[in-house]
Amino acid sequence: LAKTTQPISMDSYEGQEVNITCSHNNIATNDYITWYQQFPSQGPRFIIQGYKTKVTNEVASLFIPADRKSSTLSLPRVSLSDTAVYYCLVVNSNSGYALNFGKGTSLLVTP
Amino acid sequence: GAVVSQHPSWVICKSGTSVKIECRSLDFQATTMFWYRQFPKQSLMLMATSNEGSKATYEQGVEKDKFLINHASLTLSTLTVTSAHPEDSSFYICSAVGTPKNIQYFGAGTRLSVL
């Protein structure tokens, strides 16, 4: 099972672009990379998912290099409400199983 | 997007009592559901995997007799904390996967406080 490693914390000012990188060196062929956002006392909220190359939706972009051993979540023009913990999760597409949630990255956005 | 409802959101109980937490997938059929526990300022720890119609698979170190999981239908899984003690106080979160299985959708979580 792929173990993930992310920076523990990051700081940013409002309006800046934030990039959070996650390493998952032993990712398997059937694994997808999924990013979640969690606010205190709430369940994680799905942000974006990808398998390879680049994926973009209305809230974020996800960059995955060819070897898939890392991924970068890009949040454009963050606001104060983006202050949260962000988790990178490697999910097996056959079972939906993901043992290691990792420690996540605590993002603090300030004015 | 897919919606997972978890109930109750907060429960306080006396030590020794049992507490049941429900997890429902509202707009999709969840063949597999997962139960996590999260202590303050820590990450989510997977407790068990529950498949509809079969026994749950528990992660190492999780007591199956203490945390009873039932996945009786494609939209409902329940977690019962039996004979709860103060050390069981935590934030319990469920998730569900539909088809395809590569995205877990999470409930809002249940805050359990055992007095």
For chain B, what percent of residues have pLDDT higher than 70? 99
Measured between beta carbons, the chain A residues lying within 8 angstroms of B93 are 43-44
Interface check for A55 against chain B (CB to CB < 8 A): the answer is: no
The pLDDT assigned to A48 comes to 95
What are the structural domain ranges in chain A? 9-92
Q: Binning pLDDT at 50, 70 and 90, where does residue B45 land?
A: very high
Cβ within 8 Å of residue B9, ≥6 positions away:
B108, B109, B110, B111
Q: How far apart are CA B25 and CA A53, in angstroms?
A: 31
In the CATH scheme, what is the homologous superfamily, with its name and number, of domain A9-92?
Answer: Immunoglobulins (2.60.40.10)
Of A43, A89, A96, the CB nearest to B97: A96
Q: How far apart are CA A56 and CA A73, in angstroms?
A: 10
Out of A31-40, A95-104, B76-85, pick the least confident.
A95-104
Q: Testing the interface with B: which of A9, A33, A36 to mutate, by most B Cβ within 10 A?
A: A36
Counting every residue, how long is chain B? 115
Interchain proximity B43–A41, CB inside 8 Å: no
Of B43, B101, B111, the CB nearest to A96: B101
